[in-house]
Structure 1
Amino acid sequence: MAEKITPSVPHVELNNKTRIPQLGFGVFLVDPPEAQRVVTDALELGYRHIDTAAIYKNEEGVGRAIAASALPREDLFITTKLWNTDQGKDTTLPAFEASLDRLGLDYVDLYLVHWPAPQRDTYVESYRVLEGILDSGRARAIGVSNFLIPHLERLLAETGVVPAVNQIELHPYYQRRDLVEFGRSRGIHTEAWGPLSQGKSALLEDPMITAIAAKHGKTPAQVVLRWHIQRGIIVFPKTTSRARAAENFDLFDFELTPDEQAAITNLERDLRLGADPLEVN
């Protein structure tokens, strides 16, 4: 049976007018030999936003899938990230250029400082290099990942370009409301990594979510992803399964009611499942 064709993915306008598909495809922990096949599946299913990083070691596979797809480059939105050990005023640019080479691209749509790595204390000088990359046209937008409010405040005070996004762990059990609102008030869009809690919790078995899923004839994962979408969050669930990737893309033929949105929001547990940004260095 052919995969179901769903309505177009909505786009979000970032603070520099760059438009990003609100639903993307993540390749965290996708084995490098599998990356080309997985990203090829995603592109065939209709995903146009791919999120990778230097530390994932799969940029080459992502690039091969992009090249083999023959899709117009302007139809794609590609994100990659600067790893912590490459931070610094003299090492950030070579690291970025190495990512471009691995991806086989002339530019990326979004380049992020992957972690603040506060003990290194090089995220500000690294971000200043990103500003130069932005000026050169080799990144259409720049931003950060895993930054907390104090890190964002320092960037805003000491650099000239407001980050377009802050990519953070975010799911119904860990909603980061203060951080999301801080970003929103300053024009920084929030992207959610681990939007389904990475399978590390019982989120998808939560009775509230399963009941809402049954009502709509959808899966719990689809309901959680739809919750993110309706909150204005940019999401990119990760899977190596083509069938699951197709399911995750099928979010735009239903809508949660305000009461259903509120019920999921009330599931907050302050349950961080990933690393602490203050400790990753």
Structure 2
Amino acid sequence: MISIPKKYERNIKRSYINPGVTLLIENFTKDFIFNFEVNISIHRKPELVPETLYKFIKICNSFEIFEIKDIKEVEEIADQSIEIRFPKKIKGVYVDYDTLLKEESFFIYKILKKADSLIGLVLTNILLDSAYMDSVFRTSKIILEKVYKPKTSIDEMIYAVMVGITGGFAGNFNRVILFREDEEFFKVQRAIGPADEVEAHRIYESFETLESNIIPYLNNYKIGKMFFSNLEEKIKDIKIIKEKFMKNKLLKSAISFNKTIKLPTSQLRSIYSRLF
């Protein structure tokens, strides 16, 4: 990477990057194994350089994927620009002076608009994932506020967490089952989700609007409710023999180290047949 003239260093260091932009770029760079070549035209007087240009140079200094190939000092303010070149015949991006005068959000919008469809697709997916995480955090906040209320029972706490796991606004899992451990067995304590395929289709087809708020679902809790769902009523008496469970290395690892694991689909039938 070409060295930046020292007269610009102070302003580069002082420029503030929105943490959201940093997270966006961190995720973006994970999807590419090649570098992006950058050519910069910058005014010879540091005080006449747009803040967004300083921010971009700071980003280039922070992420190896951006390789500054050339920095050209210009006399005319309006001649300042950024050119990003992508390899493998991917369409590059040219950012003019007018865009550099805008906020970083508009800068990103312009890159999305001008970039090759592949670049735009990757950035769009990252933005969608970030929006999803925002929904998860908001839902988690509501659940925590609910469970920490003095009048909230242990059973209602369990219900709130399980609704968060299965709701489309957060975990979006089809089913969740809570087992209680004793000396010999893992016993089903609570479960939420459809009991069979017919009920699953009926539930999913009943959603006429988007699920965006967990509160109405939390308010469905009733004190003394025997079953959280038809699934729970169906499997309530199921017990898993602890000795058999611990013979599976993946399941034993999850219990021993208290960690989340992903079970390969190819092993599910085999695991099921050995446990029951």
Q: Output the TM-score relative to the length of structure 1.
A: 0.22
Larger Rg: 2
Q: Output the TM-score relative to the length of structure 2.
A: 0.23
